[in-house]
Amino acid sequence: MASVFVVEDDLQIRELAVRALADAGHVVRAEATAMAALQGIVDTAPDVVVMDLGLPDVDGSDLLRMVRAVSDVPVIIATARDEEAEIVRLLDAGADEYVVKPYSGAELEARVRALLRRVDAKGAARTVTVGGLRIDLRGRTVELDGETLQCNRKEFDLLAYLAAHVGTVVTREELFAEVWREPYGGADKTIDVHLSWLRRKLGETAAEPRYIHTVRGVGVKLVDPS
């Protein structure tokens, strides 16, 4: 069972999709417009999104881009048969799967199930270990020497990004772009504040670092202290 978010403006197709997925035991939410869907996806963090391309307010490909800016949720795009070039473009743009209209409820449910299996298989390997630090990227949990660390969203994103680049100096500009998704303002202390919180949780200080090392004038790197 998973939570599935359906974005579809056609009432009949939406009802078919919701019924088929709910009958298969999924928790289903649905919206008819892109903007309502974007809000709903942010609010409910579904396991899978099924997205119609022809929406009344915002083009499906623009909605996909907006969803990708805030979430890694797996996305199935639903499209008409004659849009093959568009399908390729959308898969390149971050869609995970597609289903061709008109689809049956059974077909949609099979696509959702297959995608969840794929994501779970990938998720099993999506754990990064650096020394005594274990970061579960899918479950968004962090353990240090077997103890769970409570991290807020940005702390987790920051740590995960550093862990993905272990041993490499990451610049502030890069962290702003990749973790905060904002251009670096220069005098901004946001990164320093989050780094100091993280260091406290890791039981270290900037003066006596173990995992998080500042490289003055360049950036910061995560290292295996063992």
Chain residues that interact with Ca ion, rule: CB under 5 A: 9, 52, 54
The pairs formed by 81-90 with CB atoms below 8 angstroms and a separation of 24 or more are 83/53, 86/53, 86/61, 89/61, 90/53, 90/60, 90/61, 90/64
What is the closest distance, in whole angstroms, from the C-beta atom of residue 54 to Ca ion in the complex? 4
Nearer to Ca ion by Cβ, of 58 and 166: the residue is 58
Measured CA angle at 190 (ends 189, 191), to 5 deg: 95
Strand partners, 68: none
Structure tokens at 123: 């998720």
Nearer to Ca ion by Cβ, of 52 and 155: the residue is 52
Q: Report yes or no: 223 and 211 within 8 Å, Cβ to Cβ.
A: yes
What is the closest distance, in whole angstroms, from the C-beta atom of residue 125 to Ca ion in the complex? 36
Nearer to Ca ion by Cβ, of 9 and 178: the residue is 9
Q: Report yes or no: 181 and 174 within 8 Å, Cβ to Cβ.
A: no
Q: Report yes or no: 37 and 56 within 8 Å, Cβ to Cβ.
A: no
What is the closest distance, in whole angstroms, from the C-beta atom of residue 41 to Ca ion in the complex? 17
Q: What is the DSSP letter of 154?
A: H
Nearer to Ca ion by Cβ, of 9 and 143: the residue is 9
Nearer to Ca ion by Cβ, of 21 and 53: the residue is 53
What is the closest distance, in whole angstroms, from the C-beta atom of residue 210 to Ca ion in the complex? 54
What is the closest distance, in whole angstroms, from the C-beta atom of residue 51 to Ca ion in the complex? 10
What is the three-class DSSP state of 71?
coil
